Amino acid sequence: LTGEVEVLHTARVREDWQGGKNDLRVRQGESVDIVRVKNNPEGRWLARNMNGEYGYVSNICVDVDYEEIKRKARSSAPPPLPPPVHEDEDVYDDVGGDTLSSSLNVSSEVYDDVDHVIPDDFPLPPPEIWYAQ
């Protein structure tokens, strides 16, 4: 790794992991920083332990709080920009719009968090964990 390292998430080690020569040896209960989840060997994430050592850990030996990831994604998302204002365009009032929508039984439900569930760069949990929840 070169340059500044961005920590995607801090995970708790669920079980000891010895791994091979490029793997990070971790113990149950230890916390590790997950720094890369893509472009790794299959089933492994690049992690850093609290001593600053880097290596791969099995993604099934660590617990990641996916609710925390959702909260971070929502809080870090910039607010949407307002639509541009064009002064040379005509302005039309929506006369009777409420009457029309009520006669068509149009639902006014709003789903604020549909687009901000889990960031695209953070994969879903492995199937073993996903189905256990």
pLDDT digits (tens, 9 = 90+) for 38-88: 899 999 999 999 999 999 999 889 988 777 767 776 776 666 777 766 666
If you count them, how many residues does the chain have?
133
Q: Are 19 and 55 in contact (CB under 8 A)?
A: yes
What integer pLDDT is reported at residue 33 of this predicted model? 92
Neighbours of 22 (CB within 10 A): 12
CB atoms within 10 A of CB 45: 24
- 57's tokens: 């850990």
**Global pTM value:** 0.53
Q: Enumerate the β-bridge partners of residue 108.
A: none
Query: Measured in whole angstroms, how far is the alpha carbon of residue 69 from the centre of its chain?
Result: 5
Q: What is the pLDDT of residue 48?
A: 93
Q: d(Cα 26, Cα 18) in Å, to the nearest integer?
A: 7
pLDDT of residue 6: 84
The pLDDT, as a whole number, for residue 17 is: 85
Task: Provide the pLDDT for residue 86.
Answer: 62
* Mean pLDDT (whole number) for 98-113: 56
At 34 the pLDDT is: 92
| Number of Cβ within a 10 Å radius of residue 120 | 8
Contacts of 59 (CB under 8 A, 6+ apart): 37, 43, 44, 45, 125, 126
Question: What are the Cα distances from residue 123, in Å, to 16, 107, 113, 133?
Answer: 22, 33, 18, 16
pLDDT at 41: 92
Q: Specify the range with the lowest mean pLDDT, choosing from 5-9, 19-23, 76-80.
A: 76-80
- CATH T-level topology, domain 9-77+114-130: SH3 type barrels. (2.30.30)
All structural domains of the chain with their residue ranges: 9-77+114-130
Whole-number pLDDT of residue 31: 92
The better pLDDT of the pair 111, 73 is held by 73
